[in-house]
Amino acid sequence: MVHSPPQSRLVAARGALLGAIAVPGDKSISHRALMFSALAVGTSRIEGLLEGEDVLATAAALRAMGATIVRRDDGVWQVDGVGVGGLMQPDGALDMGNSGTSTRLLMGLVASHPITATFTGDASLSKRPMGRVIEPLSTMGADITASPGGRLPLMVRGLCPAVPIDYTLPVASAQVKSAILLAGLNTPGITRVIEPVPTRDHSERMLAGFGADLSVTETAEGRVIALRGEAELRPQAIVVPGDPSSAAFWLVAASIVPGSDVLVRNVGLNPTRTGLLTALRLMGASIEEQDPRTVGGEPVADLRVRHASLRAVEVPAELAPSMIDEYPALFVAAAFAAGTTVARGAHELRVKESDRIAAMAAALGACGVAVEEHDDGLSVTGTGGAPIAGGATIATLLDHRIAMSMAVAALHAAAPITLDDAAPVATSYPAFFATLDQLTGHRA
């Protein structure tokens, strides 16, 4: 994979955001659509696939293992799968770029196939621990050799047949859950994952759609997802809804910039992904759901968001699994609320593309915002709606969400904010800055 060179970018306040936009396809669903299509027998079609660097890394890895994946001229992606158990030995290392999702889920895929794959990534991804995936996949029989600290580069030697397991997630992680289920697809017997705290359920929904024998049961111990292995997946026509994690930036931007009125079309509203909506509404945000509907088995609506006076709240910790990727945007919203917002329960932020707790504390602090860092979140004292000072250069740390969140903060700052590197935005939202220009009428 070719990585973009660093791109410094200065972002200044531009006035109100106005208009209607669509956000890229959901990143989580895009990854899974490619993987499950690659394991089906026959041809699947995917509309609305996110064409960011992370998802393209997944596509390249699946091609290296035998799947035929092409983007048609009409923008639809076509996948000719190899069937469960049909993955082939890749000729070289699989370059995951910056994508933790690609890495963890594909490790699960390889773990129960008779192949060996080496996973590499960029500097940011190579710092992220993979132990939480290594442990259950090793229990299933995969032989995994990792760099010190359970990090990349690492090698996975799959076992076929692998051993089915019953595994209780020690931390709420949809990636770990999905990695185990992907390994379970080519494993005889029934693989079970027990979730004490529910996480995003895109894998379960999509696996059922592809014809896997899967059940979800609520028990006293939590949600039990049971998957019968040696599955035969049927090809599907998939429509990917808009990514709520990408919509988050416009929900916050329109909320904090006076005079803003934005309609974000076709946003996925899977109940395991709507924590930010809940938190923003608790803070007094004006967000209206229009035309609720179902697209590709997922609930979807258009979201109209208008500027509102935000107030500080204590964000319920139980929202963390349903908004884990949106915390940086939430911290920005808190910077403009009246009072001190406390957002905790998000230990997972420490091991994302960057340590997002420390990164956002440093970024907001450099822009004049009063921030207190906790081990699992931040307390942010807001301006009550006034502009923040701004004027700082932000270390984005190869993290797309830090870059986009601080670009949003700059839209209501007294002085422009410089992002030391905006290139990582391309991993999930290549059109972010073009969309910002659209909503602000190119006003500099």
Distance in angstroms (rounded) separating the CA atoms of residues 97 and 115: 21
Distance in angstroms (rounded) separating the CA atoms of residues 118 and 157: 9
Count other Cβ atoms within 10 Å, centred on residue 147.
12
99 labeled binding residue? no
Distance in angstroms (rounded) separating the CA atoms of residues 374 and 372: 7
| Structure tokens belonging to residue 210 | 């592809």
Question: Coil, strand or helix: which one is 201?
Answer: coil
177 labeled binding residue? no
Place of tokens 């379970």: 184
Q: Which residues contact 312 (CB under 8 A, 6 or more apart)?
A: 283, 334, 337, 338, 339, 340, 341, 342, 381, 382
401 labeled binding residue? yes
356 labeled binding residue? yes
Which one of the listed residues 26, 122, 325, 399 is annotated catalytic?
A: 325
215 labeled binding residue? no
- Rg of the chain's alpha carbons, rounded to an integer? 21
245 labeled binding residue? no
CA triple 64-65-67, angle to 5 deg: 90
Distance in angstroms (rounded) separating the CA atoms of residues 363 and 366: 5
For the question of residue 26 being annotated catalytic, the response is no
437 labeled binding residue? no
| Structure tokens belonging to residue 134 | 């290594």
127 labeled binding residue? no
Q: Pairing mode, if any, of strands 388-390 and 413-415?
A: parallel
175 labeled binding residue? yes
Q: Which residues are annotated as a binding site?
A: 27-28, 32, 100, 128, 173, 175, 325, 352, 356, 401
Q: Which residues are annotated as a binding site for 3-phosphoshikimate?
A: 27-28, 32, 173, 175, 325, 352
Q: Which residues are annotated as a binding site for phosphoenolpyruvate?
A: 27, 100, 128, 175, 356, 401
Active site residues: 325
